[in-house]
Structure formats: C-alpha cells, structure tokens
C-alpha cells in the first residue's frame, strides 16, 4: 500500500452506520477496507486515525473558482477544509468561451473579484475558445481538488449572439442562433459538463468600463422558451439544470419547479439557490419546502434547493456589497467606479431622497433586510462610530440612519467596514433546513465575494452543528447522514464519480478530529490570496478539525496544514466529467 489509514471510524458517504476499519490505498484507489491491520511496505505512509472520523472527500457543488483556478490552481482554501471536488460554471458564468474583456465584464462585478487581476490574467493566458479546449486546459493545471463544471448560459449566449446583442432587451435569438446554442449544449454534455446554469436575477450586473456596464447578465435577457429549448437536451441526457431565481420577488421559482416536473415527460434534475431563513422574509423557507415536497412527491419533479448549514453573514467595505444591486439607488452607486464621483452622488440631496424611499419601502420586493439596526461598524477612520450600528449612530446624532450610512460611505469609502447577518440566525429553523429532504448541502460561492463571505468550510460547520445537537441531547440528524449529505448524495445526484468511500473507488478522503469541531470553525479571519497581488480575503481556519486530506490517494493536507507542494507540481486532482 502507498498509504494506510489505521484505526479510524469510517463513514462510507452512503448513509450507512460507521465502522472501525483500516483503509489501504494503492495507486490513487482505495484497495482495502479491513477490520484486521493491513500489512505495510517500507514506503507505506501510515496515518493513525484513532479517535478520528474517516470520510469521503467533501463536494462543493456551487463555487466561482473559475478565475482563481487560473492563478492558484491549488484552491487550497477549500482543500484545507476537506473539500476534494469543486463545481464551477455556476450562475450562468463560465470562462469556457468568450473574449478576455467580455468574460471579465461578466464575471468580476457579480462575484466581487478584482477586475484588473482577472482581465490581465485572461489576456495573458487564455488560449482556448471551445468547450473541449477549456476542459483540456483545466486538465493541464496542477489542480488541488478535482474540478467539474456546468455550461454557463451567459457565456454561451454572449458567444453565440455577440455580447452587445445578448444584452439588448427584446432581442430573440434567430432560429440559427438557437440551433448553434443547442449544438454547443450537446457538445458540452458529450464532453462531460454537468449540465447548464442560468441566471434570472437582474441585480447581477455587468462590470467593466464600457457603455454596457450595469446591464444585467446576458442570461437574464432570455425568454423562458429559450431556456426550455436547452433544458430539453438536459432532460434527454439526465443532466442538471442549475438556476438562480429572482430571489427578491421569489415568484419565478415556480417556473423552475414546473420545468423539473415529469408527469408528461422525462423528469429534469433542477437545483436553485437557495433555501434560507432570511430576516427579510421569515418563514419563506417553510413555504418553499412544502412546494418542493409537492413537486417531488406528487408531480414527478426532481428538484433540489441548495443550502448552507450556517449563519449567512456578510461583511462590506463601504457600499460595495452585492445586495445593494437589489434596488435602483444602490445599483446607481455601484455603477460608479470612481470614488470621487460616487461620493458626489451619495451627497446629492435628490439621490439621498430616492435611496431613503427605496430603502424603507415596505412594499418593494427584497432579499436583504435593509435594517440598519442589524449592522455593526467594524472599522472606520472615525473611531467614534466603531462598534455601533448605523441606527445607533443615527439615534445619537438625531438623524435618519440612511443619511448616517451615506455620509460615512461618501467620506470614507471602502475604509468603512461593517457587518450584518442576512439569514439562518435561528437554530431551530437552520436545523429544519439542514434535514429537509429536498436540500443539496452547499452554496459556498467559494472563490467569489472575497471580502464579503467565508463559507469555504461549510462541511465542517454542518458536522459541528450535528455534533453540538447530539451533545445537547436534541439530535436532528445522525453524523452518517450529515456525511452523506456532504458527499455521496451530491455526487450521485450530479452524476459524478465522487463522494463514496469503498474499495475500488478513487481515494478522496478526509480524516477529521471530532474534538476539533468546536467554536473555532465559526471564527473569521483574513488571509492574503495566492498570486492575487496581496489581495486579502475572508476565511475561516480550523486546523485542529482536519488532520489529513487525501486527493487521488496523495496527501494534500497533513496535520491540518496544506502540503507545500500542493498545486506546485502535477497537482492532486483532475477534471471530473458527468457519467454518460
């Protein structure tokens, strides 16, 4: 054996009760699962897992690592937490096709990623412009985790219609253009792409400095008939339709449910973001949970919500936070890139009046709570406001909270850093979400919103949530079910060879110290990103929880530390393709 993991409590990722076993790995594959000790060779690496859990590698089914994988293919911020497979091409975005400028304009503002870094990277390195060429390119990278991808509809649409035409309201693709998009989807499915991702949420906007800045993404301009032409191909092949509904109004999620139904046709695997317990719409998660239950149990659907097993909290530098794209005045501020121009707008009395009326309007659809009581100022050149909410400062100054907020942003820009909680802050409701049968566990957005969120370690946070409930004597899920939710359940549904610990399977595994699943998994920190020019992102670090991570039988994390060679040589992971 190349590696033997001894004395661990082994979870198979399929929901079966764990068993004390020794695991033998040879040639990147699990060669033995044995009650008896496995003979060692002189070269065998032995990992003592006594008192530890041994699980399949975790799968992150919703990331935006498309840009980061080019600069830092180790993707070590996920690997350090036991994630051994990541899925890219989410939310209609992909780097598979398009010019460097078009792709940077589509990708960077939506996902809050440094524009100049990504555009210059693509201009320097992008040599592919076909779906097959993109996967071949990924296979040449020294990958940390395994990588799989969706076809991004915005990229596909812009490639077919031309970016500007794809962003024109009312423009319908011609018959030939629809035919070309169908041909590209067929080609992608043949190559092993997981399916198609679309975007219907219009507060995800184009970036860059052209006159198309601040238009919604190309996918949002498509009519449902265009989506349906393409989902027909997914339905025939048993592939996945991933979408972002309009989470402000929430109404068009019914279209996704209808698209999934299979009473009179073949069922379509459909997954959308996200089941949450938002402060802005208490109880909505219970309602949509009933809707999916009806669709799946009675109407032949195969529909899954994506969800996170943790508090959904947000950090912001000034007004640079995607939720401000939700209403017109917020989007108008984010449209302006120049700090002086933005400050001038924020100080304009007419703008302030509009911002205040939209912020406080109880009848406008919303996903964000827009409550300045639910905020905390973390950093500001004006030390007198640090530690307070914007509403508290407003009360002290006898002013409206929106004026206080806009004053501070206009004066200090991104030197003003603040925090809020958007959803999942009620434990009982969070547990309801985590155990809902129509949930796929994930939606980390890893690789995006780098200064705003840090959900890279969501698998460990689910395991901690389950373990803490057991300690309280109020379990809501077994550990083996939690492991299954993070591994085999996702792999099986996506059609990936991942997430199962069994003889003959690829040796993607995690050795976890359950005693390390403590409050530290929730603590936030900051860390510079590899090869991003010193850019600092939010992370959560919990080295005591993860003893070892193996990807294709090679140890990528040892004693909680990412192996220095990770991503520097031939890499650990590879490109995974959907099963035919």
Neighbours of 417 (CB within 10 A): 17
Per-residue pLDDT, 430: 98
List the structure tokens of 357: 């009326």
- Helix 153-161 to helix 100-111 angle (10° resolution) is 150
How is domain 58-206+214-311+424-456 classified at the CATH fold level?
Answer: TIM Barrel (3.20.20)
Average pLDDT score over residue span 412-430: 97
Over pLDDT 90: what percentage of the chain? 92
Sign of CA dihedral 505, 442, 455, 152: positive
Residues in the chain: 580
Mean pLDDT estimate for the chain: 96
- Helix 115-125 to helix 100-111 angle (10° resolution) is 150
In this predicted model, what pLDDT tens digit does every residue of 167-200 receive, in sequence order? 999 999 999 999 999 999 999 999 999 999 999 9
Q: Which residue has the tokens 């003003």?
A: 416
- Chain Cα centroid distance, residue 108: 15
In this predicted model, what pLDDT tens digit does every residue of 74-85 receive, in sequence order? 999 999 999 999
Three-state SS for 149?
strand
Per-residue pLDDT, 249: 79
Distance of alpha carbon 459 from alpha carbon 485, whole angstroms: 9
pTM to 2 decimals? 0.97
Q: How confident is the model at residue 566 (pLDDT cuts 50, 70, 90)?
A: low
Check pLDDT > 90 for residue 247.
Answer: no
Sign of CA dihedral 541, 273, 89, 110: negative
Per-residue pLDDT, 23: 98
Q: How confident is the model at residue 560 (pLDDT cuts 50, 70, 90)?
A: confident
Average pLDDT score over residue span 110-122: 91
User: Which residues neighbour 348 within 8 Å (Cβ) at sequence distance 6 or greater?
Assistant: none
In this predicted model, what pLDDT tens digit does every residue of 274-320 receive, in sequence order? 999 999 999 999 999 999 999 999 999 999 999 999 999 999 999 99
By the 8 A CB rule, do 303 and 292 touch? yes
Greatest C-alpha distance within the chain:
77
Residue 167, classified by CB atoms within 10 Å of its CB into exposed (0-12), middle (13-18) or buried (19+), is: buried
CATH number for the domain whose boundaries are 1-56+458-516+544-565 = 2.30.40.10
State how far the alpha carbon of 351 is from the alpha carbons of 62, 345, 391, in Å. 36, 7, 20
By the 8 A CB rule, do 94 and 152 touch? yes
Sign of CA dihedral 265, 267, 271, 276: positive
Residue 525, classified by CB atoms within 10 Å of its CB into exposed (0-12), middle (13-18) or buried (19+), is: exposed
List the structure tokens of 374: 């639910």
Domain ranges across the chain: 1-56+458-516+544-565, 58-206+214-311+424-456, 316-421
Per-residue pLDDT, 332: 97
Distance of alpha carbon 129 from alpha carbon 108, whole angstroms: 19
Backbone angles phi, psi at 63, to 5 degrees: -130, 170
In this predicted model, what pLDDT tens digit does every residue of 328-379 receive, in sequence order? 999 999 999 999 999 999 999 999 999 999 999 988 888 999 999 999 999 9
Check pLDDT > 80 for residue 569.
Answer: no
Average pLDDT score over residue span 218-243: 97
Distance of alpha carbon 389 from alpha carbon 418, whole angstroms: 9
- Between vectors from CA 474 to CA 468 and to CA 477, what angle results, nearest 5°? 75
Q: Which residue has the tokens 């990278």?
A: 141
By the 8 A CB rule, do 23 and 65 touch? no
Per-residue pLDDT, 533: 83
Long-range pairs of 388-396 with CB within 8 A, sequence gap ≥ 24? 390/418
Distance of alpha carbon 337 from alpha carbon 561, whole angstroms: 38
**Residue 523 DSSP symbol:** -
């Amino acid at each position: 054996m190349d590696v033997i993991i001894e004395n661990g409590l082994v979870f198979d990722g399929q929901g079966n009760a764990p068993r004390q076993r020794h695991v033998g790995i040879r040639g990147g594959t699990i060669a033995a699962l044995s009650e008896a000790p496995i003979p060692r060779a002189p070269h065998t690496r032995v990992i003592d897992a006594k008192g530890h859990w041994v699980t399949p590698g975790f799968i992150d089914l919703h990331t935006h690592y498309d840009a980061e994988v080019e600069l830092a293919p180790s993707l070590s911020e996920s690997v350090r937490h036991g994630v051994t497979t990541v899925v890219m091409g989410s939310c209609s975005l992909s780097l598979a096709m398009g010019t460097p400028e078009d792709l940077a304009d589509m990708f960077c503002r939506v996902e809050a990623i440094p524009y100049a870094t990504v555009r210059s990277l693509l201009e320097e390195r992008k040599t592919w412009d076909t779906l097959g060429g993109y996967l071949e390119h990924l296979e040449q990278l020294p990958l940390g985790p395994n990588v799989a991808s969706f076809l991004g509809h915005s990229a596909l649409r812009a490639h077919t219609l031309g970016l500007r035409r794809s962003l024109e309201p009312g423009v319908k693709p011609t018959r030939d253009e629809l035919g070309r998009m169908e041909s590209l989807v067929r080609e992608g499915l043949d190559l092993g792409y997981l399916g198609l991702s679309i975007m219907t949420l219009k507060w995800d906007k184009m970036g860059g400095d052209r006159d198309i800045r601040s238009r919604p993404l190309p996918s949002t301009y498509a009519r449902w008939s265009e989506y349906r032409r393409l989902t027909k191909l997914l339905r025939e092949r048993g592939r996945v339709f991933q979408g972002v509904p309009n989470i402000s109004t929430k109404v068009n999620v019914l279209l996704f449910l209808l698209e999934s139904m299979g009473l009179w046709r073949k069922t379509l695997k459909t997954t959308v973001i996200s089941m949450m317990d938002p402060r802005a719409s208490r109880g909505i998660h219970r309602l949509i949970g009933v809707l999916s239950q009806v669709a799946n149990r009675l109407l032949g659907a195969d529909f899954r919500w994506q969800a996170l097993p943790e508090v959904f909290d947000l950090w912001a530098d000034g007004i640079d936070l995607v939720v401000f794209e939700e209403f017109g005045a917020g989007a108008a501020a984010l449209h302006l890139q120049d700090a002086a121009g933005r400050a001038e707008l924020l100080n304009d009395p007419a703008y302030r009046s509009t911002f205040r009326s939209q912020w406080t309007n109880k009848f406008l659809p919303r996903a964000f709570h827009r409550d300045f009581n639910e905020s905390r100022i973390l950093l500001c050149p004006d030390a007198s406001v640090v530690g307070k909410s914007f509403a508290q400062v407003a009360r002290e100054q006898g002013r409206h909270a929106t004026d206080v907020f806009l004053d501070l942003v206009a004066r200090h820009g991104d030197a003003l850093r603040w925090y809020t909680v958007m959803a999942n802050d009620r434990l009982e409701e969070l547990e309801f979400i985590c155990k809902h049968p129509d949930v796929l566990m994930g939606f980390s957005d890893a690789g995006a919103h780098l200064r705003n969120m840090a959900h890279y370690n969501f698998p460990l946070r689910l395991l901690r949530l389950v373990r803490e409930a057991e300690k309280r004597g109020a379990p809501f899920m077994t550990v083996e079910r939690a492991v299954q939710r993070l591994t085999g359940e996702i792999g099986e549904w996506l059609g990936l060879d991942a997430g199962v610990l069994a003889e003959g399977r690829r040796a993607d595994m995690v050795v976890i110290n359950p005693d390390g699943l403590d409050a530290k998994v929730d603590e936030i920190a900051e860390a510079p990103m590899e090869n991003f020019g010193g850019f600092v992102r939010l992370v959560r670090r919990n080295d005591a929880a993860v003893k070892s991570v193996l990807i294709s039988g090679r140890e990528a994390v040892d004693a909680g530390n990412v192996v220095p060679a990770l991503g520097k040589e031939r890499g650990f992971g590879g490109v995974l393709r959907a099963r035919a």
